[in-house]
Chains A and B, each alone.
Chain A
Amino acid sequence: MVSFINLVSLWILPLIILTILTVGLIKKVPVYEVFTDGAKDGFKVSINIIPYLVAIIVSISMLRASGFIEYIGTLFSGIFEYFKVPVEVLPIMIVRSLSGSAALGVFSDIAHNLGPDSYATKLAAVMVGSSETTFYVLAVYFGSVGIKKFRYALATGIIADIIGIVAAIFVCRILV
């Protein structure tokens, strides 16, 4: 199973690229010129998102540095015991919508300290594996087209994240 998945993930990108180029040639598209023409926008788009990234990443780095996230953790530890969720995974729940690298960092930390066989490691793995960094996604995508009013996009992302966390807790109890 592992080797099969590795094989698929190794081949999927080369196959996509090859298919697109082959179909392009068959349909007589000037692939080199079209490629460079499309690639031109790469620089412009990346530079455009910098102000939005700075706003989101700086404010979240500041919040993390202030110790606020740990404080929230101690506040909720009672609820955790009630649902038999290991307290170690709490930072992941808070951090995973805000910063992908932080969530992965906390997860590696749990995996190294508690070992591969602990329930906390498995639950943390499912929580990190099934989530996307909501704030980062919004900053990049809205930043790329200069949208300033997010309307209900942020609320939707956060509600879905919460549902994901609850689902992770229940699914892990049944399947892991």
Chain B
Amino acid sequence: MNYIFYCLILLSIIFGAVTGKLSDVVNAILSGAELSVKVAFSLIGIMAFWLGIMKIAQECGLVKILAKILMPITKVLFRDIKSNNDAIGDIAMNFTANALGLSNAATPIGIKAMQEMQEVNKDKSSASDAMCMFLAMNTAGFQIVPATVIAVLVSVGYKNPTDIILPVLVVTSIAFVSAIIVALIFKKLWRAQ
């Protein structure tokens, strides 16, 4: 991550200088920083709400039930945290929320899952295998109904915006499954080193 961060900034400055857009690049620092805080602040309320609701789900045993239903799959994918029922349940909830396109609900629940995985993580500054698998599932962005995209299509007068649901579903499934496979391969390679 250190090199990536350095390269991104170095590239932008060199490229900005060459294309004469250096002032835009400098302005982007300010607007980017502002946007980051805006994103974080806009999360506070909805985060509090879903953490509250999830706490109820946890206390009344719903998270455990969901975890049990998905156990056969998660046992294979999250071998190193299989004894942690709360984490598995939250991962399952996060996946469900993502699949339904509820990213507002998925993020707080996912963060909670990360915190639970961090508790059993041996090296607190380094990602565990379970976390990498969890993020592979999240970055692949499995979604059943792409609501925002459909909204844009409707706005330009697309007649059957639901046309794209099937191709999106096929592509998102391919990406999702390959993310899991890639994460499993990397897990083996990393251990071999």
Contact = CB atoms under 8 A, between A and B. Distances in A.
A and B interact physically: yes
Interface of A: 1-2, 5, 8-9, 12-13, 16-17, 19-21, 23-24, 26-27, 29, 31, 34-43, 45-47, 49-50, 53-68, 71, 104, 107-108, 111-112, 115-116, 121-122, 125-132, 134, 137-138, 140-142, 144-157, 159-161, 163-164, 167-168, 171-172, 175-176
Given A132-B98, A146-B124, 6 more contacts: A27-B61, A42-B46, A67-B15, A147-B127, A157-B140, A175-B167
A85 B67 CA distance: 42
Contacts of A149: 1, 123, 125-127
Contacts of A160: 136, 139-140, 175-176, 178-179, 182
Contact of B60 (A1, A23, A57): A23
B47 A35 contact: no
Contacts of B8: 59-60, 62-63
A58 B32 contact: yes
B73 interface: no
Q: Is the interface of A mostly helix, strand, loop or mixed?
A: helix
A171 B167 contact: yes
Contacts of B43: 42, 45-46, 49
B114 A38 contact: no
Given A45-B111, A151-B127, A39 B175 contact: no
A40 to B, nearest CB: 7
A68 B15 contact: yes
Contact of B190 (A9, A147, A151): A151
Interface in B70-125: 98, 100-102, 105, 107-108, 110-111, 114-115, 117-118, 123-125
Interface in B156-174: 156-168, 170-172, 174
Range class of the B interface residue count: 35 or more
A141 B15 contact: no
Contacts of A1: 162
A21 B48 CA distance: 16
A116 B162 contact: no
Interface of B: 1, 4-5, 8-9, 11-13, 15-16, 19, 21, 24-25, 27-29, 31-33, 35-37, 39-41, 43-49, 51-57, 59-62, 98, 100-102, 105, 107-108, 110-111, 114-115, 117-118, 123-127, 131-132, 134-136, 138-141, 143, 145-150, 152-153, 155-168, 170-172, 174-176, 178-179, 182-183, 186-187, 189-190
Contact of B33 (A42, A54, A130, A163): A54
Contact of B36 (A54, A128, A144, A147): A54
A65 B25 contact: yes
Contacts of B135: 137-138, 141-142, 153, 156-157
A132 to B, nearest CB: 3
B12 to A, nearest CB: 4
